Each structure stands twice: as structure tokens, then as C-alpha cells.
Chains A and B, each alone.
Chain A
Amino acid sequence: MSFRTKIFLSITGTVVLAVWIVAAVVSTLVTQSFERRDAQRTASLVNQLQREFDRRGKDVARRVEAVADSDVVQRLAVNLVGQAAGGQFDASQSFTEAQTLAQEQSLDFLELVGPDAAIISSAEWPARFGYKEDWLAQPVDWKAQGVFLKKEDLADGSALGLITVRSVTAGDKTVYVAGGQRLDKEFLDSLPATDGVRLQLYRNFEPLASPEILGSKLAADLVQDVRQQPRELTRVNDAATITAIPLRGRDKQLLAILLIENSRAELASLKRYIQGTAGAAGGGCVLLGLLLSFWTASRVTRPLRDLAGSVREVAVGKWDTRANVGSSDEVGQLARDFNGMTEQLVEQRDRMIQAERVAAWRELARRLAHELKNPLFPLQITIENLQRSRDSSPAEFDEVFRESTTTLLAELGHLKTIVGRFSDFAKMPTPQLEPVDMNQLAREVIQLFEAQLQAPGRSRVETKLNLASDAGEVPADPEQLRRALRNLVLNALDAMPQGGTLSIRTARHDGKVALEVSDTGEGLTPEECDRLFTPYYTTKQHGTGLGLAIVQSVVSDHKGTISVHSEPNKGTTFRIELKASA
């Protein structure tokens, strides 16, 4: 992954993360704010409902009080006293009174009940006259009891009512007036409306609290929980916050559950708006971030890319390459430093080349001096010997002269050979390429050395040819290649003065032909391996240091490679790889 891509991804990731964090924080804060507002609204609504219940309760009490104070009820009480005194109480005369009074006072429930708890007149269930309301016969201060919830049995089922009771006494007879208002959907609808709030009343004597009836599974589950353990409970889901308030009767029995459903549609809408806005803004920011990060990455990495390009140029040898110093920042400084470094490297290289040249000339001079000094010394001794012999032993001078001239000629021949070698190295010709069978070449070279290897008095050197049948041919100058191989064989034989094994192997792989020449001599040190192909470097007493240099030169001229692998006391292997013929 490129540096620019990394910068691009980093900036993009940072922008996306930042947008996400901002959106999440805003959403969380809004949600929390709504939760608080939701809770406050629910609490306010509960208080409002409680006040409304109290107000309705007082209203019911006032109306029932008015019924109790009415002439009809007072007369009824007096008639009951008259009945007790032996008169006739005609229930038919009072049968419809409760309906009339309930209508006058806008009461849904009204029963006039006699001292024996028998209903004299019932507004909500007229046919129920004569039946007993035993709960009224209890010794209770009904006025202090106030208004309470009660399940009222009706002809077509049951209903829930806000009920209060008043007693009217005449003589020793008491008439009970039990009246109230129905607590149902209409009652809830009549309460002050609040936007987004829905009130539901589940009456505990109803058979089922199904989600279909209550509008949601949340409400149904809530009702079930409150029925099992009556207490105020609040549950929340995405759609609404529902608070369930148990409503109990006089005997603390759970009669109904008031469900206050606070819609979270507004919150959901706002959340959607925030999420949408955040999404749009985030998308915009991400897009902007992408463009910005792309531009930034490009701008930031351009000097680096230029610098990297300069480095690559230098790496391939273009030492005069200079990085563009476009800014004064760290990257600009880096470019300046790079330019300074390349300048120094060029200077050092030039100095090194100069030094190497000097060293090479010195080495050449040393070698030449060394090579030439050896034959010159016998020449000097021979000539001096001739001079002494002419002066001291003229008789023997002829003999000495013959011997000395022989020696002089031999040494001059030696000098000529040395000079020829140097001349050869200097005049390495351009290879004339033709297909050369590497296996055949190996066999020919070994054959050249057969006589030398079998010469008497020479330590035995065993030769092994391990030639791959598929080695094939390479495009090469056969003479130069033969000369290189001969040098390697000579080198191997020199490395085994005590005898050993000379191995030549050929192989073909990856379109190349490899030729290895191994000896079992003493081997070379790593330092010797490093300098082995340096001209005029030799580890032998009488070597010119040009043999392996010539080999490397030949291989190099053939676009091949040569390497050496050596292990002390095990031997050395030279490996030449040349491109195989097509």
C-alpha cells in the first residue's frame, strides 16, 4: 500500500469517524433530552389526571349530594318511615325515580337503596329493583369514604364507575343514595387532551388484554405484568412510552389499569431527521474528506514521490540526479539533504575511482616490478658472472659465456611471456558468438589436461564429468569460453597440489545453462572469495592474478554470471551461468 493511499485512508477514516461520533453524540443527547421530557410529560400527565380524577370525584360527590338532598329522596325516606309505621310503601311509585334523578344530575349510575339494602330504584339497571346491595349495609361513614372506584354490574355486562354514597335518614330509617359516573373511553375522551398522548383503560374484569384491543404488544404485556403484581410501571419501545397505573377499589382490589401512552413519534421523527441530516452531512463530509484527503495526500506525497524517483535514478547509476526542493518544510529539507548526499556520494565515488585507479596502477606496478624483478635478478647475476669470469678466468670464459647466454635467453623468454600475458589481458577481444555445446566444451578442456594429469610424479587428480544431457548450447565465443574454462581447471589443479577430485558439472534451468568446476582443495576464506576476481590478485606464489579476472571478463562479455562458493578444507566451486540458445 502506497504512502499516499495510507494518508488518504487515514484522513478519510478520521473524517468518517469524526462524523459518526458527532452524529452519535448528538443522537444520544437528543434521546436523553427526549427521555427526560417524556418522563416529565408523563409525570405531569399523571398529576393532571389525578387532579382531573379528584375534580370529577368532587363533581360526582356534589351531584350525588344533590340527589340525596332532593325532595324525591327525602320523601322516599319519609315514606319508608311511614311503611315502618304500618303504612303501605309502593315501590312502583319510586321505580323510575333513580333514572329521573340520574338524568337531572348527569349521573351514569344511581341507585336508591332502602334500609334493608334492597334496591328501590336503579338508573343503570332498572330491572334490578328489589335486589340487595349488601355492601351498602356495612357500617361505613360514607361521606368520609369519599369517591371510590367500583365495578358496577349492568344488564349487558359490567362497567367501572367513580362512585360515592350518601345516606338520608328519616326517623330510624336510612335511604342510601349510591351514584357516580362511568369510567370508560368516553370519560377518558372527556379529559383534557394532550397531543401525542393516548389514554386507555383496561378493566380488570374484562377477559383479555390482547395486543389487538390495546393497540400494541407492549401495552398488553404491561397490563399482564401489572395484573400479576399491581404497581405503577413504565415501559418504552420505539413507538411509545407507556405508563400503567393500577386503579383499585375500596377493598384495594385491582379494578382497572390506566394506560398512559406517550407517543415517541416526535422523537422518532427527530431522530430520523438527525440521522438523515447527519447521514447527509456525514456523506458530504466524507466526500469532502475524500477529495481533501486525496488532494492532501497527493500534495504531501508529491515531493516524497519525486524524492523516491530521484533515489531510484541514483540507484540505477544516474548520480547526477537531483531532487526537486519545492518547500522549506521537512520534506524540502529532506530533498536538500538528499541532493547534498548524492553530491557527496558522487565526490566520494570519483575519489574512490581515482583511488582505485591509483591503487590499480600501484598494484600493476607492483606486479610488474615483482614479475620483472624475478627474471632481472638472474640476468644481473649472469651478466655480473660473465664480467667476473672474463676478468678472472678468461680460459673458462667461453664456457661461462655459453652457459650465461643460455640463461640470459631463458630469462628473456620468461620476461617476454610475462609481458605477453599482460598484453593479452589488455587486449581482450570482442566475443564472436556461435552456438557452443557446453558438454562438448567441458569434455574438450578435460581432454587437454589428460596428459598433464597423468604426468609421472604428479599427485593424482581424479576427474569427474557430470554433464546434463539437456544442457544444450549457449551463444558464445568458443575460444574465449574455452580459455575461461581452461583457467578455471588450471586454478582447480593449482588448488590441489596434493591431489584430489576435479568435477565439472553442467545443468539447465530457467533458460540458462550452468557450468560448475569444483575442486577438493583447501578452500578459500570469505575475504579471498570477495577479492578473487580482482585483477592481479592471487593467492598463489607464482600467479599473475589475471586468470580469474580473465574468466570474469569473458563471462561478463557473454552477459553471464560467475559466482564462487568455497568451504575451508572442502574445496571451491566456480559456477558460470549463461543464457541458453533459443
Chain B
Amino acid sequence: MRLPGWASLALSSLVISNCLSAEVRPRYGGTLTIELSTVWNKLDPGGVNSALSVPITETLVRVTSNGEVEPVLALAWQHDPDFKRWRFSLRPNATFHDGEALTAATAAPSLLAALKPKYGEVSIEAGGQAIVVQADREMPGLLEELALPRSAIFRRSDANPLIGTGPFRITAWEPGRRLNVAAFDNYWGGRPFLDAIEIEFGSGHGRADLFDIPLGPARRILPEGLATWSSAPRTLLAITSTNTDVMLLQALALVVDRAPIANVLAQHKAETAFGLLPQWLSGYAFLFDSTPDVVRAKQLVSALRSGPISLSYPANDLFLRSVAERIALNGRDAGITIQPTTAGNANLRLVEWPLESSDAADELSRIALELGAADRTGQMDPAKPETLYQLERSLLDDHRIIPLLHLRQTYAIAPRVHFQPSSSGTFALHLEDAWIQP
């Protein structure tokens, strides 16, 4: 689908002014070092919520920043009128990192595994470079689904956990510690600028060419000259509950002041969230905006006579702990006693739900599924944004979830690192576009 929020996405994203400058010509060579505070234990495509895109695998198609679908591994495609049968023609000159050619037969297994969870019984016919996907149900959003990282085409072997067709191939992989990739010389799109990329996990030295800036109240003094890049909001931070009085949750939603949390605790690396999807994704998020109403919240609480309730947050997450404490403080203004805790059996939970795609309907469906309201997704027509709004409104009116923030991911980038302008926007930072100035 074409996303109406892409315009706002462009505005809301920060621009890497010096990195994306075209004044210097790109150069080949060099190793990019990366430090990440997060830890990757597995290398499943789509299994990591990171705005940092390490292009080891590729999908058949991709969605550009203006919402258009571009060919990647699939050069062309057709579908029948009722979107039940799709035919893709694969790129003839693409090969996997181990030298095996990309064919319909080699692509079919991973494609089938990616589509089954969403479309159920799907059959794939592979012949030469042509691959046919057929299902009993309509698949109008198949292209957007195939553009998701989880639909990437890859293979595994004993020696290599992830063999893709992307511009970088894995040279070393130590789960939870480091990932090294090198330029894939036989990449169908041409060799990338960088010779190699070395990623160290769980490190916070700040000595690498590129490192992430975790969310949290601790303000980090960056070395002079470093640029920062922030992704579009790609994680929903919310309070969920299944066993708390609805009126109490309503009161809490009214009394929580999101702006200080976004501006101070998240250090501007987040946007206040009153809806489930960010503005750039849905385009109608502003319709949910509201201001704290302590008086109304007090009225609701006074009718309840509720005791203390607990709010859990993940242990060792200082940012979420500070958010929980702030919410407890806000709740106290309305007479709600909230005890932040790391225990799992709390009344309320502070959750982070990453957005996996730039498909609003798809993300909303996933949230509805998490909230136990999957049956309502049938009322949604991706072509009609108002149906998305109605679904989101109904989910919010259930008062089982209180959206708080939409979080960005922010990275610091050394001055010698440059990025070629990308067509994929600010949803991810594409390392295949990076080059290093000597």
C-alpha cells in the first residue's frame, strides 16, 4: 500500500547533514567499526529490532521512502485479478554468498516459511527463475509482505548461519559478541563501498565509527565532530494490562504526562504517543492527541477505592525504570498508587512493541493480535485509512493499552563515515550506502 505518512516521516527524521553530503565523491575500501549496546544472539532476518540494516540478505522487493515498490531480487511480477496467484521472475545474475545461483528452487524454502504464518496454506511452484505463489485466500498485500526483512531469501549451512544474496557476507559470527561481514564481490548490484564491517555487541566504549545511543535519562557527552542519526519512531512504548479495572486504566491514561517522558527521560529520542501507530505510519495519529486531565482522573479514581497496583518493567532497563517511576509519580497526582517492580506478575506492564514494517495495516493487525482483538482486523480495509483509524480507536477504547511513546533509535557516526542518499528513507540506516573517507 502507499503510506500517507511518508511525508511526515521525512520531516520527523533527523538529517545526517555531513554524512549525506554529496560534496565528496564516494570511495571504496575501509572497514567500518560498529559498537552496539544491544546484543544479537541470532541472525534471523527480521528477528532483530534494529534500525541498523546490515545487508546480508535481500527480499524480492522493497518499499521506497515514498511508498513505491521496487524490484530487488524479483525483476517482475504479475498477479491474477483476485490476488490469489502471483508470479515472480527472479533476477538471473544473483548468487548466494557461497556461489550458488539464485533460482526459484533455492528461493522457495525461505519464501514459503515467511509467507505461511500470515497466509496459511500457500503453495509455491518453482521453475527456473520463475516462482509462483498461490493461496486460497486473496493476497493483495503480498508485495508489502515480501518487502519485510522476515521475507528475505536466505539459506543456512553448518559453517554459515546466514547465507544471503546481499552486498555483505558473513566472515565471523560469535552470537552475542561480534559479527564481521565483508564485501561480497559478486553482488549483483555491484560491490559495496566498504571492504568490511565489524560489529561488537554489548559494548559502550564509543570508540567505533558508528555506535548506538541507548534511550535513557543518562545524557551522553559525544566526542566533538560526531554526527547523530535518528530513525523514524519504530517502537511503541505502552502500558498494558489484562486484570486492572478499566476505569483505573482510563484514569491513568488521563493523568500520565507524556511530554516530559519523551523530552526529558527519552532525551527527545521519542514522540509522545496517544495512538498505537506513529504519525508517519498511520497519518491520523494526531487525532488521538490529548492533554493530561488530572481533575477528571481524580474523579474516576475517587469512584473506585482501588488499592495499590504494580507496574512491571524489564530488569536492568534504566530507561523503562525511570519511565515507570514517572508514571507512578503521575498516578499519585490522581490518587493512584503505583509500585514499579521488575516482578513478572504485576497488574500493569510496560511494554516495547517494535514496528517491523512500514505497513500500517500490518502493524495494527499485529497489535490487535497482541491485545486479543484479532477478530476485529477483518473490518479493516488497507485501502481505506478510516477503517484503520476505527480499529485503532476501538482498541484504545478497550482501555487495555495506554500508548506512551513512539521511540526512535539513534546512532552516533564518526566524521569519516559517509552515506550515499538512500531511497528507503529514515526507517533504517543502510550500511551498503556507507563509505569511508580516508
Which residues of A pack against B, CB within 8 Å? Answer: 90-93, 95-96, 125-131, 155
Return A119 CB to nearest CB of chain B, in Å: 11
Q: Which of the four size classes fits the interface of chain B? A: 10 to 19
Q: Does B340 contact A (CB under 8 A)?
A: yes
Determine whether the beta carbon of A155 is less than 8 Å from that of B329: yes
Return B158 CB to nearest CB of chain A, in Å: 48
Q: A129-B260, A130-B260, A155-B340 are in contact. Are A96 and B322 (CB under 8 A)?
A: no
Determine whether the beta carbon of A125 is less than 8 Å from that of B325: yes
Partner of A155, one of B218, B257, B325: B325
Determine whether the beta carbon of B264 is less than 8 Å from that of A95: yes
Q: A91-B264, A95-B265, A155-B340 are in contact. Are A127 and B329 (CB under 8 A)?
A: yes
Determine whether the beta carbon of B268 is less than 8 Å from that of A92: yes
Given contacts A96-B217, A130-B260, 18 further A-B contacts (CB under 8 A): A90-B263, A91-B260, A91-B263, A91-B264, A92-B264, A92-B267, A95-B264, A96-B218, A96-B219, A125-B325, A127-B326, A127-B329, A128-B329, A129-B260, A130-B264, A155-B325, A155-B328, A155-B340
User: What are 27 A-B pairs with beta-carbon distances under 8 A?
Assistant: A90-B263, A92-B219, A92-B263, A92-B264, A93-B219, A95-B219, A95-B264, A95-B265, A95-B267, A96-B217, A96-B218, A96-B219, A125-B325, A125-B329, A126-B217, A127-B265, A127-B322, A127-B325, A127-B328, A128-B329, A129-B260, A129-B264, A130-B257, A130-B260, A130-B264, A155-B328, A155-B340
In chain B, residues 259-289, which have Cβ atoms closer than 8 Å to a Cβ of chain A?
260, 263-265, 267-268
What is the CA–CA distance of A92 and B218 in the complex, to the nearest angstrom? 10
Q: Smallest CB-CB separation from A120: which chain B residue?
A: B264
Q: Chain B residues near A125 (CB, 8 Å)?
A: 325, 329
User: Which secondary structure dominates where chain B touches chain A?
Assistant: helix
Which of A93, A129, A155 gathers most chain B CB within 10 Å? A155
Partner of A131, one of B219, B328, B329: B329
Q: Chain A residues near B218 (CB, 8 Å)?
A: 96
10 residue pairs, one from A and one from B, having the closest CB atoms: A127-B325, A127-B326, A92-B264, A95-B264, A155-B325, A92-B267, A127-B329, A96-B219, A91-B264, A130-B260
Q: Chain A residues near B322 (CB, 8 Å)?
A: 126-127
What is the CA–CA distance of A65 and B332 in the complex, to the nearest angstrom? 32
What is the CA–CA distance of A129 and B261 in the complex, to the nearest angstrom? 10
Return B39 CB to nearest CB of chain A, in Å: 25
What is the CA–CA distance of A127 and B319 in the complex, to the nearest angstrom? 11
Q: Chain A residues near B329 (CB, 8 Å)?
A: 125, 127-128, 131, 155
Q: Smallest CB-CB separation from B259: which chain A residue?
A: A130
What is the CA–CA distance of A96 and B257 in the complex, to the nearest angstrom? 19
Q: Chain A residues near B328 (CB, 8 Å)?
A: 127, 155
Q: Chain A residues near B340 (CB, 8 Å)?
A: 155
Q: Chain B residues near A126 (CB, 8 Å)?
A: 217, 322, 325
Q: Chain A residues near B263 (CB, 8 Å)?
A: 90-92
Q: Chain A residues near B264 (CB, 8 Å)?
A: 91-92, 95, 129-130
Q: Smallest CB-CB separation from B333: which chain A residue?
A: A131
In chain B, residues 214-263, which have Cβ atoms closer than 8 Å to a Cβ of chain A?
217-219, 257, 260, 263
Return B179 CB to nearest CB of chain A, in Å: 32
Return B34 CB to nearest CB of chain A, in Å: 26
Q: Smallest CB-CB separation from B321: which chain A residue?
A: A127
What is the CA–CA distance of A575 and B277 in the complex, to the nearest angstrom? 143
Which of B217, B257, B264, B265 gathers most chain A CB within 10 Å? B264
Return B82 CB to nearest CB of chain A, in Å: 52
Q: Smallest CB-CB separation from B220: which chain A residue?
A: A96
Q: Chain B residues near A96 (CB, 8 Å)?
A: 217-219
In chain B, residues 312-329, which have Cβ atoms closer than 8 Å to a Cβ of chain A?
322, 325-326, 328-329
Return B185 CB to nearest CB of chain A, in Å: 46
What is the CA–CA distance of A93 and B217 in the complex, to the nearest angstrom? 10
What is the CA–CA distance of A96 and B267 in the complex, to the nearest angstrom? 11
Return B258 CB to nearest CB of chain A, in Å: 12
What is the CA–CA distance of A155 and B322 in the complex, to the nearest angstrom? 10
Q: Smallest CB-CB separation from B269: which chain A residue?
A: A92
Return B331 CB to nearest CB of chain A, in Å: 11
What is the CA–CA distance of A90 and B267 in the complex, to the nearest angstrom? 10
Return B284 CB to nearest CB of chain A, in Å: 28
Which of A90, A127, A155 gathers most chain B CB within 10 Å? A127
Return A42 CB to nearest CB of chain B, in Å: 41
Q: Chain B residues near A91 (CB, 8 Å)?
A: 260, 263-264
What is the CA–CA distance of A66 and B217 in the complex, to the nearest angstrom? 24
Binary interface encoding of chain B residues 194-231 relative to chain A, with 1 for a CB under 8 A from any of its CBs, else 0: 00000000000000000000000111000000000000
What is the CA–CA distance of A129 and B265 in the complex, to the nearest angstrom? 10
What is the CA–CA distance of A125 and B263 in the complex, to the nearest angstrom? 17
What is the CA–CA distance of A92 and B264 in the complex, to the nearest angstrom? 4
